[in-house]
Amino acid sequence: MGSHNLDSTTIPQQVSIEAFPYLRVYKDGTIERLAGTQIAPTGLDPQTGVVSKDVIIAPQTGVSARLYRPQLHIKLLPLVVYFHGGGFFISSTADPLYHNSLNQLAAEAKVIIVSVNYRLAPENPLPAAYDDCWEALSWVASHSSSGGGVQSPATEEPWLKNHVDFNRIFLAGDSAGANIAHHLICRISEQNPSRRLIKICGVASIQPYFWGKEAIGSEVHDLVRKSMVDRWWSVVCPSDKGNDDPLINPFAEGAPSLEGLETCPKILVVVAGKDILRDRGWLYYEKVAKMSSSLGWGGTIEIMETLEEDHVFHI
């Protein structure tokens, strides 16, 4: 199956899957993405002084990353591994919205960034995106002195080898990317403590894409947007569990234990007041905070809400 721009006169009867307003799949298998297809080039950003480049992580799957390096005033910098949003089915690391915002993040926070370009659904249904991001995190870990228990990369990336402080690694993501970050932290926690892939100092979960079968908060009354999100999930994850699949509902039966988040000392949840996913972000915060309190977790979780904004307004 391929992704192409089709003529607007294509008759509706040819459409087999409609994920309005972002994607169509036609009966011949052609996929038409209606957003997130623009591409920004790498290089020096004159506004921030940040330099970016693309690297291939896994030739066999095509998984790649876009790296960002700010002006170097000290030898070692923190690293942020970033997972872009887009419902698991649109956008990329080259999307100008992400490219420009990550240039700014690298410059203002003075961090090196690895932005992961994972495979998209429906060509690659979930859990492909999670597996790709785990492979990217393993690739990052292979550059540390401990190696994260994984084989050294065939070609070392000098930006990581020479300029990253591996004691200060953070995960961040928005929407689907925040969902991915949650699952990666849980996956790290499942490893033997003496052989964990990498130590994560914190996670920024920006307007996380979590969902569930039972409507909560604004979902009860906003039936139009709820039905859209329902539809999107059915496209990216054909599951008999639907909206209560553990990949999208972190509190559903079979979901990774929230206790796994104890391996991450700091969690920041960011929500937007007009976002249909707002109440899911708050529920996540409240559940994790309650869990951490009952277990005597030494870490912290905070939440920040921007009242008059909608989903992923920051990009």
The band of 8, judged by pLDDT with boundaries at 50, 70 and 90, is: very low
Query: Tell me: the pLDDT tens digits for 212-264?
Result: 999 999 999 999 999 999 999 999 998 899 999 999 999 999 999 998 898 89
Which residues are part of the catalytic machinery? Answer: 175
Tell me the three state secondary structure of residue 228.
Answer: helix
Evaluate the CA torsion angle 208, 213, 218, 222 in order and state its sign.
positive
Which pLDDT belongs to residue 193?
81
Give the residue-averaged pLDDT of 60-68. Answer: 96
CATH numbers and ranges of domains, the chain: 40-306 (3.40.50.1820)
Q: What is the mean pLDDT of residues 93-114?
A: 98
Q: Give the pLDDT confidence score for residue 119 in this predicted structure.
A: 98
pLDDT band at 146 (very low <50, low <70, confident <90, very high): confident
Residues 260-285 have pLDDT tens digits of: 898 899 999 999 999 999 999 999 99
Q: pLDDT tens across 44-61, in order? A: 999 999 999 999 999 999
Q: 14-22, long-range: CB within 8 Å, 24+ apart, which pairs?
A: 17/122, 17/235, 18/231, 19/87, 19/89, 19/231, 19/232, 19/235, 20/228, 20/231, 22/87, 22/89, 22/90, 22/232
Of 78-87, 140-149, 239-248, minimum mean pLDDT range: 140-149
Question: What single letter denotes the amino acid at residue 141?
Answer: A
**Residue 147, pLDDT score:** 64
- Over 60: is that where the pLDDT of 81 sits? yes
Q: How confident is the model at residue 201 (pLDDT cuts 50, 70, 90)?
A: very high
